[in-house]
Amino acid sequence: MKKVFLTACLSIFCFALHANKNPEIGDQFIVNSPTGQSYKYVKFPKLNFLVKKGKLANYKNVKGNKVVVSHVETCDKGHTYVTLKKQDGSKFFGYLQSVKANYTKSLKSGELSAI
């Protein structure tokens, strides 16, 4: 009985360590569709700025893109922000090299998902 209890505690501890994994440079994610009309935790430009740049006012061209973490930053409040670049090296919307995202909140909301 002790062995079963010890094994269960150890597996729960390992699962908890894996769930709180901090992002590292080179981690890969997929951009999913936003839960609302626009992205809340991935800082893509608003639709009116895309129109001013002469682009289509939708986020369909970023949905499904594979992105790579290029920079990790932790704030004083404990929030972790990552800078994302496209895996193929092209630009977001034809003019943005990288975008910033709140790591934990974007994963919880489903805007980003790990590969």
- Looking up tokens 């369909």 gives 60
Q: Which ranges of 20-102 does DSSP label H, i.e. alpha helix?
A: 47-52
pTM: 0.75
The length of the chain, given as a count of residues: 115
What confidence category does residue 56 fall into, taking pLDDT thresholds of 50, 70 and 90? confident
What confidence category does residue 8 fall into, taking pLDDT thresholds of 50, 70 and 90? low
Contact yes or no for 84/69 (Cβ under 8 A) = yes
pLDDT of residue 11: 57
Judge whether residue 30 has pLDDT over 90: yes
pLDDT tens, residue by residue, 69-84: 999 999 888 899 999 9
Q: Where are the domains of the chain?
A: 23-114
Average pLDDT, the chain: 85
What confidence category does residue 17 fall into, taking pLDDT thresholds of 50, 70 and 90? very low
> What's the whole-number mean pLDDT along residues 55-80?
91
